[in-house]
Amino acid sequence: MSESLINAGRQTLLLELQEASRLPERLGEAFVRAAETVLKCEGKVIVSGIGKSGHIGKKIAATFASTGTPAFFVHPAEALHGDLGMIESRDVMLFISYSGSAKELDLILPRLAEKSVALLAMTGKPRSPLALAADAVLDISVEREACPMHLAPTSSTVTTLMMGDALAMSVMQARGFDEEDFARSHPAGALGARLLNKVHHLMRKEEQIPQVQLTTSVMEAMLELSRTGLGLVAVCDAQRQVKGVFTDGDLRRWLVAGGALTTAVSEAMTRGGITLDANSRAVDAKERLMQRKIAAAPVVDDAGILVGAINLQDFYQAGIL
């Protein structure tokens, strides 16, 4: 029994992969025309389809929307009962129908023509009413569905999804849509946290900043270390320019060497050291700390003035792992 189940599953996958492997060779002038139509669209891409085509259409619309092309899905039945009013001449409709002869098209196609809405078709029938009415036709035909009865849409839904992804990704790249653009569409996700947060969003500010002046004693710097618990103190001149850092390690080395607590911290500090730009991306700043194998750093503005401090835990708490 288990072997027959595995064989049936394997046969399904092999059939779908075989059909999908034919898609790349179909991309030609019609695909370019479809992509250019979407790129030139001044409104939104409205995706529509019924049955399994509709389910796949919802995903394609979501993919467009998250990759820089405003898009939404409209069910054909809802379109015929008022939602056609949402579609304007500056929009593009992408209609998915394997047969290309869904009965709803009899009423939808004339309305689209009246409004001069550009029509793109995904269909398996190049001579269907949908294909003949479309400005560009994307061929999603299959020789065989993976369903053993050749009834349930299986291979054809895979080719539809893949063709939609191919169109969306081509348009995305043509727009120059990048990681930060994607993150702006997903601000609550891990990618948004990684790409949208800047150091100044996460850093410790004002009284939370561990800082002393060059003339401060080692004792006072040690107390500042204890007060903030960040593992370092920024040592600044009178203009708040960071001249070095005083860390737990510096304190230990100073005491082991017999240094006095009354000595100026400038004698015991690590000169220079790493500072982070307040306007840099948090993910880049975190990687810099990791590469240098340090846990915390002062944060400075464009003029080199101390404005904050941050450690690795601050990044982790923000979801930047």
Distance CA 119, CA 183 (A): 30
- Same domain? 20 vs 83: yes
Q: How far is CA 7 from CA 18, 125, 152, 168, 310, in A?
A: 16, 31, 19, 34, 56
- Same domain? 15 vs 154: yes
Q: Concatenate the DSSP letters of all residues of 186-252 into one string.
A: -TTSHHHHHHH-BHHHHSB-GGGS-EEETTSBHHHHHHHHHHH-SSEEEEE-TT-BEEEEEEHHHHH
317 token code pair: 């708490």
Is 277 inside any structural domain? yes
CB 117 within 8 A of CB 89: yes
Distance CA 45, CA 167 (A): 12
For the chain, give the mean pLDDT: 89
Is 189 inside any structural domain? no
CA 157 to chain centre: 25
- Same domain? 81 vs 154: yes
- Same domain? 163 vs 228: no
> pLDDT of 265-314, one tens digit each?
999 999 988 899 999 888 888 999 989 888 899 999 988 899 999 998 88
- Same domain? 101 vs 222: no
The pLDDT value given to residue 231: 87
- Same domain? 222 vs 140: no
> pLDDT of 100-135, one tens digit each?
998 889 889 999 999 999 999 999 999 999 999 999
- Same domain? 131 vs 255: no
CA nearest 57: which of 68, 67, 45, 69?
45
CATH of the domain at 232: 3.10.580.10
As for how many domains the chain has, the answer is: 2
Is 187 inside any structural domain? no
How far is the first Cα of the chain from the last one, in angstroms, to the nearest whole number?
45
The pLDDT value given to residue 148: 86
- Same domain? 17 vs 155: yes
- Is 75 marked as a binding-site residue? yes
The pLDDT value given to residue 82: 74
Helix (H, G, I), strand (E, B) or coil at 299: strand
Q: How far is CA 280 from CA 53, 124, 198, 205, in A?
A: 44, 50, 6, 16
Is 109 inside any structural domain? yes
Q: What is the rounded average pLDDT of the residues 136-150?
A: 92
Distance CA 270, CA 86 (A): 65
- Same domain? 250 vs 166: no
- Same domain? 97 vs 139: yes
144 token code pair: 């065989």
pTM: 0.68
Range of the domain at 266: 199-317
Instruction: Identify the DSSP state of 281.
Output: B
CB 255 within 8 A of CB 241: no
Q: Which amino acid is at 81?
A: H
- Same domain? 164 vs 268: no
- Same domain? 209 vs 142: no
The pLDDT value given to residue 239: 92
CATH of the domain at 126: 3.40.50.10490
Is 182 inside any structural domain? no
The pLDDT value given to residue 94: 97
Distance CA 109, CA 132 (A): 11
> pLDDT of 13-58, one tens digit each?
999 999 999 999 999 999 999 999 999 999 999 999 999 999 999 9
